[in-house]
Structure 1
């Protein structure tokens, strides 16, 4: 049996919705794309946790402090659970955790676009700083809505262990977003909140990636993705606009 035949057989299997279940049966090219997906998730969760930790002491009350603490804790836990999967591929988790300054941020007025910056794989939106409680709440809502679509997409991926972990984590990510909405309801349609929405909307939109993407086509062929970037972004934007409209923050 030739390598070409093996590859074609695997492609057909994944194209028909087949699942891979362990590092041992993952071929090299698939492994590279899978690890990139997992690294992006882990790095983004660690950066989100580190960034939101700074918002805890800016919370206006005990309930808000509890909500911010819960989000900080659970995002770190989410990172750890996917990093555990990466250990199966030879990743040194202890070294990985110390590899970057997860709280590091660029200048507020930076123009980063949807590219990787620095040595880690966090989404570009997590390079921007939070300026206060209202800003943290707005970002949490908009990014939380995006997570429902982007991570929800990966709960159907062809690497079953990752799909299972993300399916388990997604309800907690939704609760983070709901806590943010509760916070925005208390803040109200202030000028500060409106300015924060205007700042974060385009930056969160960029996290879905370019409308035309060769990488998406590769991931789709491997069963790691199935919905294109622009479709996910459009669905997120419609939901975000409905949510913001209900809060007087269009």
Structure 2
């Protein structure tokens, strides 16, 4: 970075930061918020899916579910280690929140359960059986793909590198969900899947809430975000519609 260039100017021109020592305080706070949201969401998602492993109709399905739980937990650990470089207590973190806690199933979309738990709001809702879990995994997996794309070019280079490794793992989880749902539909689970899409779609959509415009513009200037939530949400809607068309589902 040129000696006469401010950190903000450097970031606005596409500069990258590589370690905690040269990260300004406000940038640090926003970066940690982004990383905490990812870690909390992965841990909450893994905890929720762990509860339905034994609902799988066969050994292969249970293995796939267990693999998802393992890999989501590992993804959380990868980003949590980055947070540890900023001073986060990584040993305490995994037990800091009751990751299995959920709201009543009929709670309106977008409701937060705990202000200190940074998980995405959709992960505050309980799964209701195997078809519901697989359908949620498809709907949310497509949303995760859109969100991870947003962070591939993060100006904090270690985070961007971690996301590049995590992205194909999460993409495979979404593929497993679509494959599993296709099999369930062939076995007569179509009506249950339609009902599950109807339930989960607005709850996943809520994670793309507009948020504060000023905050987004600042994150964009720092290279921590690129795309407005409305655009991300529209991309997710399109990908979900494509998946539902492939499955011959309407919801």
TM-score grouping bracket, smaller chain normalisation: over 0.9
- The more displaced of 103-112 and 162-171 is 103-112
**For structure 1, which runs of at least 5 residues remain unmatched after alignment?**
none
Distance in 2 between the 1:98 and 1:231 partners? 35
SS in 2 for 1:107: coil
Other-structure match for 2:80: 83
Q: Does residue 1 of structure 2 align to residue 15 of structure 1?
A: no
Other-structure match for 2:161: 164
1:33 to 3, 24, 30: 30
Deviation of 1:210 after TM superposition, in Å, equals 1.3
Other-structure match for 1:197: 197
Indicate conservation of the 8 Å contact 1:117/1:124, yes or no: no
Indicate conservation of the 8 Å contact 2:208/2:233, yes or no: yes
Distance in 1 between the 2:231 and 2:126 partners? 28
Distance in 2 between the 1:216 and 1:119 partners? 21
Q: CA RMSD in A?
A: 1.6
Other-structure match for 2:173: 176
Distance in 2 between the 1:157 and 1:122 partners? 20
TM-score normalised to structure 1 length: 0.94
**For structure 2, which runs of at least 5 residues remain unmatched after alignment?**
none
Indicate conservation of the 8 Å contact 2:109/2:202, yes or no: no
Show CA shifts across 1:93-141 (max 9, x none): 1111111000110000112526573421000000000000000000000
- The alignment of Structure 1 onto Structure 2 pairs a total of residues equal to 245
Distance in 2 between the 1:132 and 1:74 partners? 21
Distance in 2 between the 1:97 and 1:35 partners? 16
